[in-house]
Structure 1
């Protein structure tokens, strides 16, 4: 079968062609010589199948859209639109009728439009009425079947034509169900020929579930979060938000099953992200007013961030010989630190050393002597590792100096 489309403009204009769910694009091939790549052809697999029954053939004049293995679902109005680089676009409509051989069933709606393959989408609660008819001598029998047969009527015969009607309510229960109509004869109950259609229904999501890679994640390491959306038709729009800032999903939404979509986002979180809400929102593009969401409060583990100060505030560490001074180690960490170690000039201090007292996060030096001068730091330790503070330089003044 061929659909003719004349291309009267010069080949150098490199046209782009769109016919329904098919496109042909030759842009960017000018001046590349004989070694240039071929124009890009694309066909929707839902319409033309994985083996691509459609092909745009430019070896003829006029060029032709070739469709192999014509089926009833190919019937309809085709709009061919050609875009030129230096000329106005050109379009034309062509209506294709597919005749059924005797004894072959046809499913159609009340207006006579053929219903094969995916049909709709319909709104939830809509009653879809369809008819199956076939001709032959003698008139063939007709049988409804499939996973969503609905309420089928009796078969009526008029001359050589047989017909039967069916009503089905579009709902979540009937979405994506297959409806078949088969012809039979009096000598056998086995179907002779069968056609089928699939009911599509606009539906909002039933559930949105955000899944973290674990109970917590480590700061500075990339982590993958997944959002699982169930029950949306058509495929949902998924949005990610981190503390009020919208994120870009790391990968296009994939599928885990019928009406189950999964979106992923990869994040490298920082300590400041601990406790910040991560939100996943989803809605059907046909029903944007019905939005579901799920969220979690991020649990981010990070190295201790330690700061050492002189008790009472400040960074100036100065004391007379024989006096005392107290240092404080302030630590921010998740999880909490299990140990704080004080260092003097890089040497770890022990609580039983002369003049050294350690209580919780504080270091108290008593009866300070000249050999206690130098740099003091603290290190907080948790499951993520060790975090070292700034250094305080202790200046010990002579006992009898003014």
Structure 2
């Protein structure tokens, strides 16, 4: 790869120079698929991020710094602009729920894990660059150069992605439908709704396949099928990979400007334009779905109090996806000068769109009822830098672990919910992920 050679030459030019702090080396690169490139690399972690607007795409490899405690995120705020000319970008995520210990198949992800990668492949607009990151600290000059050279020398050309996906052999839902109906009979009791007016309950669907499934092939298929979504992937080891095709932004921050949204309330799409327009109109008029969305945008605005100078919310609109459509309200705020990403994540995540309202009581009920760990499902996944940060809510997601695939879906339960209809909503959301096997 020509870009790889150019970066190695830049590294050689650094050997006699005195460097300090963060340094970023760049070289233009031609690549067809960032996922296809990432799939072929031998380095871990392997991280992928593609914005919903499709104008920002990143693939990251290796780690030169790593944060595994949410309190460490405060250290990423207030950095001076480095001599590299651009701030370091930390990629990672936070679990849905900080309280219970993360164990089992989610253990390597933890409650928090962010990495500053050694290698980045960055596509913004029509420009793609291969980037090598270094951090010179004290007497580590020779070691950093050696480590960076070894990483660059291991890079492989992109591979062809597989559009064929193996057949499903087995499926198991947790909870199953009888347990789901039991849950809803409990949480929809009038006395229960007075205490917790909204709770979001989730289902884990575990799939076994006739052949080995590669998670990066699956993510590429999701990306083709759902272009109006965020697409993300996190693989910290060969054994596990978390992927998502999420329609929901948690927030995007550019300097002091914050963009968030309330995405809650849904109805299916049929593929017939006239019928879908009618369903969308009914969705916007439906009291239960409008209430569900109101819980979310009201909560976000309340939590921004003390963090933002001004905040406004748009009128309700429809976000159409391939198999489903949602009510969306956009939120724009101007942050106070001292507000940092760690404060935004602490205050805003998780929103009532994936947890419930009031937050503490809803989370307590989720811990009591759900037998599966959510891990990073419905967590906050994205990247942090001094000038720009962006996070998606990791719904419509799956954990590939030791050749099993766990897919996660959720539904908001509140006044007006019907147990059978909510079960069908879970299936509609699941079909948006399973549909790649049928298209």
Same fold (TM over 0.5): no
Give the TM-score taking structure 1 as reference length.
0.22
Q: Which has the higher strand share?
A: 1
TM-score, structure 2 as length reference: 0.20
Point out which structure has higher relative CO (alpha carbons under 8 A, 6+ apart): 2
Higher fraction of helix: 2
